[in-house]
Amino acid sequence: MRISVIGTGYVGLVAGTCLADTGHRVICVDIDEERIARLKRGELSIYEPGLEELLTRNIEEERLSFTSDTGEAVAKSLLVFLCVGTPSLENGEHDISALMGAAEHVARVMDGYRIIVNKSTGPAGTTARIAARMRELTGHEFDVVVNPEFIKEGAAVDDFLRPDRIVVGCEDVRVLEIMRELYAPFLRTGKPFLAMDLASAEMSKLAVNAMLAARISVMNEFATFCEAAGADVSHVREAVAADGRIGAGYLFPGLGFGGSCLPKDVIACAAWAEKLGLDAPLLRAAAAVNDAALRRFIGRIRSFYGEAVARKRIAIWGTTFKPRTDDLRGAPALRVIDALLGAGAAIHAYDPVAGKKLAALYGDRIRVAAKNYDALVDADGLVICTEWNEFRRPDYDRMAELMRERVIFDGRNLYTPATLEQNGFQYFSVGRG
Ligand SMILES: NC(=O)c1ccc[n+]([C@@H]2O[C@H](COP(=O)([O-])OP(=O)(O)OC[C@H]3O[C@@H](n4cnc5c(N)ncnc54)[C@H](O)[C@@H]3O)[C@@H](O)[C@H]2O)c1
């Protein structure tokens, strides 16, 4: 099939590349011309494990190409995927203006029948609104499909190639068969293809994110209880995760969830509920507990140093919102850095892949280390914000030698408190007595 993908961010680039890998001819479009120029040279615009090899192969085999010309791409495609960002408006709702803009552009350049597949996240009714607006702009026939994306950054290629399920909201049986055929190569292990109406498909995405956010927030609430009651949330988590009714994912307590999806989708859903005259107490609570977890973590660092924080040099390990991505959007580390900078501390940060982005974001307000131990030189404390693998078993002797004060604030519970104590560190983690 001939496919165009509008938006080459984390979702569009992964979707376009993986679809090309099953034999389709895919043209990816972006309004960011620099991004397109880099992609044409085979240079990734994002860090995503496994993507580069797939991208290069599919460019070489002429199944995958890039353009900033929406008209050129749409002219050659039956299916047009919309994968543009839907960030938060000031009131918390999804800002679907870029998505609507992309759809309007497609409508203006369409020269015949097209299937418009919306992968961007928005409230139920978004795709119906897109269809209504497109009908105002074009006389050509088209169908719309909702196909929410459930990939996780850091494992996005694997998630796309081996999804837990495919959700398709669609009103036309022939279009549904086309979507079924498109996804058949990814569902050979028997995972379900779930067909439903447009609004239910949109709602499914929001419900999944709400559920994941709530799980983390429940564990963060228990982390607070554990601290007060002298219990260890790591043991509690293991007991909870072993329950077959619950499972192990998204139960790790810490400094809270971040990223470009969970926080904004939970808040947007709550704001949208309010607009509908409904209450969404659980969603609001999930967001509030998450915010409180981060504030508690920052508060612990601040109260440890007191006013003297202004004379301290603090090392940060990990700045992305999760490991195996370079995405800094909504990363808790940025709030930690901002709070410590605001209190006058000097920051020396290290991240395995986001160093350049971090330097671009903060300029000379922070120092960005090229290697993890470099960040520790003369540090008065280390704050761990992301659980990159390389931080899990560090050389404690080397750390102790490099640091001025042996203090670690661990937002991801990577270490055993007794081990750190034996190595002469003051160690603060989350929810452990
Ligand atoms: N990032 C994730 O892990 C993830 C997972 C599931 C769903 N989603 C949802 O998917 C959508 C896209 O997310 P993302 O993280 O890929 O966003 P992103 O910001 O990484 O990428 C969006 C891209 O769209 C481009 N764009 C904007 N307007 C355009 C237009 N008119 N024409 C062509 N390109 C245009 C931007 O330049 C950008 O490159 C969002 O709704 C998000 O909530 C994201």
Ligand 1 centroid, distance to 384 Cα (angstroms): 28
330 lines ligand 1 (CB under 6 A): no
Q: Which two tokens mark 75?
A: 């002219």
Q: Which two tokens mark 65?
A: 């190409």
Q: How many CA atoms lie within 13 A of 149 on its CB side?
A: 28
Query: By C-alpha distance, which of 117, 56, 108 is closest to 82?
Result: 117
153 lines ligand 1 (CB under 6 A): yes
Ligand 1 centroid, distance to 31 Cα (angstroms): 11
Ligand 1 centroid, distance to 39 Cα (angstroms): 16
pLDDT at 149: 98
Cβ-Cβ contacts under 8 Å for 97 (sequence gap 6 or more): none
Nearest CA to ligand 1 atom 44: 11
Q: Which atom of ligand 1 is nearest the CA belonging to 121?
A: 41
Nearest CA to ligand 1 atom 27: 84
105 lines ligand 1 (CB under 6 A): yes
Rounded CA separation 37/374 (Å): 34
Helical pair 233-241 and 198-229, crossing angle rounded to 10 deg: 140
pLDDT at 177: 98
Question: pLDDT below 70 — which residues of the chain?
Answer: none
Rounded CA separation 119/205 (Å): 10
Using a 10 angstrom Cβ sphere, with 0-12 exposed, 13-18 middle and 19 or more buried, the burial of residue 139 is: exposed
Rounded CA separation 403/414 (Å): 19
Nearest CA to ligand 1 atom 25: 7
102 lines ligand 1 (CB under 6 A): yes
2-196 and 287-428 have identical folds:
yes
Rounded CA separation 208/149 (Å): 11
Antiparallel, parallel or unpaired: β 64-67 and 25-29: parallel
We find that the CATH architecture of domain 287-428 is 3-Layer(aba) Sandwich (3.40)
Domain ranges of the chain: 2-196, 287-428
Antiparallel, parallel or unpaired: β 142-146 and 166-170: antiparallel
Nearest CA to ligand 1 atom 30: 102
Query: By C-alpha distance, which of 107, 29, 113 is closest to 72?
Result: 29
Nearest CA to ligand 1 atom 43: 121
98 lines ligand 1 (CB under 6 A): yes
| Tokens 């995958």 belong to residue | 64
| Tokens 């409508």 belong to residue | 107
DSSP 324-347: T----TT-HHHHHHHHHHHTT-EE
Nearest CA to ligand 1 atom 10: 120
pLDDT at 316: 99
101 lines ligand 1 (CB under 6 A): yes
pLDDT at 371: 97
Total residue length of the chain: 433
**CATH for 2-196?**
3.40.50.720
Rounded CA separation 256/336 (Å): 12
Nearest CA to ligand 1 atom 13: 85
Rounded CA separation 51/144 (Å): 28
- Catalytic residue positions, numbered: 261
pLDDT at 45: 85
84 lines ligand 1 (CB under 6 A): yes
Can you name the residues that pair with 49 across neighbouring β-strands?
A: none
pLDDT at 200: 98
Among 4, 14, 28, 30, the mutation site with the greatest number of ligand 1 atoms within 8 A of its Cβ is 30
Helical pair 262-275 and 281-305, crossing angle rounded to 10 deg: 130
Rounded CA separation 333/258 (Å): 9
Rounded CA separation 202/214 (Å): 19
pLDDT at 279: 94
221 lines ligand 1 (CB under 6 A): no
Among 6, 45, 83, 118, the mutation site with the greatest number of ligand 1 atoms within 8 A of its Cβ is 83
121 lines ligand 1 (CB under 6 A): yes
Ligand 1 centroid, distance to 10 Cα (angstroms): 7
